[in-house]
Amino acid sequence: MDVRHLRTFVTVAEQGTVSKASLQLRVAQPALSRQIGELEAELGVKLFDRIRRRLVLTGHGEQLLAECQSIVNAMDFLRERAELLRRADRGVLKIAATPQMIDGVFSTFLHRYAERFPNVEIKLTEAVGTEPFAKLGRGELHLAINYLQLVDTESHEFASFPLPPLDFLAVGHESLPLGSGGDIEIARLASHPLLLLDSSLYGVRKVFEAACRLAGVKPQVFVESRAPHTLLALAEAGHGVAVVPSVLPTHRYRVRIARITYRRRPLRGLLTVLWDRRRVLPPYAKEFCTFLDAYMREVFPISRPTASKPHRKAARDPVQKRAGGSRSPRSAA
């Protein structure tokens, strides 16, 4: 039995169409259709029904899919293991992270990692929410940076490496008073129009909504966006308060920032590096985790609450004092 035929069957079943599978496998559609036909002939069962231009698994196909996935994963594992035996300090490292993580951390961290592992090629993918989980299982990624709150703690599928946590920040127009002492209670955000990340994609949003439910707060959502910097631009223009993680750089915007708290405790997202425990990580992937952890401890938080500016009383002009006049207080620097 040809393993390529099994891989084609698994990919077509996951993608739903031969055209999508063709793009992923980089094999012409007629060749894939022929491989499916040859596999069906060899097994003696029909694997797919064609319904409205889509391929739907038959009952026999559904029963055989899990076994075929196991065989394909075992072959991938064997190849990866052999590759590690040949090359311990060179290769490709495929990583997925959120846009804000790439902007705030990876844009500067990757240079440091490259100094230690110059022969490792990093392939960085932007991914949010639970998008990377299936790719980890299929071997399309080695590592994914994600929120621990989104991972099923009962699952034994993923191994993890904890990273420093993120604070959740409220960001508004520079004239907008936000809390006191650099903090704002989550309940006080209920009176503001909120600028939030897309609920269907971002772990930040899911963690924030869970905290709102805990605090009995119903968010007044003005805008949802897939682009974190869109929220900052709207906050700078005075359209509401953006809720973003402290890993997102805010120095390009004239805004006021406060750390979000619940019962005076910071609201935080727990970051972790995930990988499929069924696959062997190359040594340079494990080093990546420890290097990243050390770097994040150096630079975190990327964005901090706006420092309160103490009121400075201007000195009186001696000439004006004698004349009975006074100068207007100078604005704080």
**What pLDDT score does 245 carry?**
94
The residue with greater pLDDT, 68 or 79, is 68
Task: Report yes or no: 171 and 232 within 8 Å, Cβ to Cβ.
Answer: yes
The pLDDT value given to residue 147: 84
Number of H helices, E strands in the chain: 11, 15
Confidence of residue 236 (pLDDT cuts 50, 70, 90): very high
What whole-number distance in Å separates Cα of residue 247 and Cα of residue 145? Answer: 13
Looking at residue 241, what is its pLDDT? 97
Structural domains present in the chain: 3-86 (1.10.10.10), 91-164+271-299 (3.40.190.10), 166-269 (3.40.190.290)
Contacts of residue 111, Cβ cutoff 8 Å, sequence gap at least 6: none
Task: Kindly report the average pLDDT of the chain as a whole number.
Answer: 85
By the 8 A CB rule, do 36 and 47 touch?
yes
Residue with more model confidence, 150 or 104? 104
Residue range 189-235, pLDDT digits in tens: 999 999 999 887 777 888 899 899 999 999 999 999 989 999 999 99
Confidence category of residue 307, pLDDT binned at 50, 70, 90: confident
**For residue 70, what pLDDT is reported?**
87
Query: Tokens 């992270």 sit at which residue?
Result: 97
Which of 147, 145, 57 minimizes the C-alpha distance to 106? 145
Q: Find the mean pLDDT for residues 82-103.
A: 82
Percent above pLDDT 70 for the chain = 89
Q: How far apart, in Å, are the Cα atoms of 239 and each of 12, 174, 179, 194, 209?
A: 46, 12, 18, 9, 20
How high is the pLDDT of residue 17?
85
CB 297, CB 244: distance < 8 Å:
no
Six token digits for residue 101: 């993580």
Per-residue pLDDT of 252-303, as tens digits, reads 999 999 999 999 999 998 899 999 988 888 888 889 999 999 999 999 999 9
Tell me the pLDDT tens digit for each residue of 35-53: 989 998 999 999 988 887 7
Please give the radius of gyration of the chain, using alpha carbons only, rounded to the nearest integer. Answer: 27
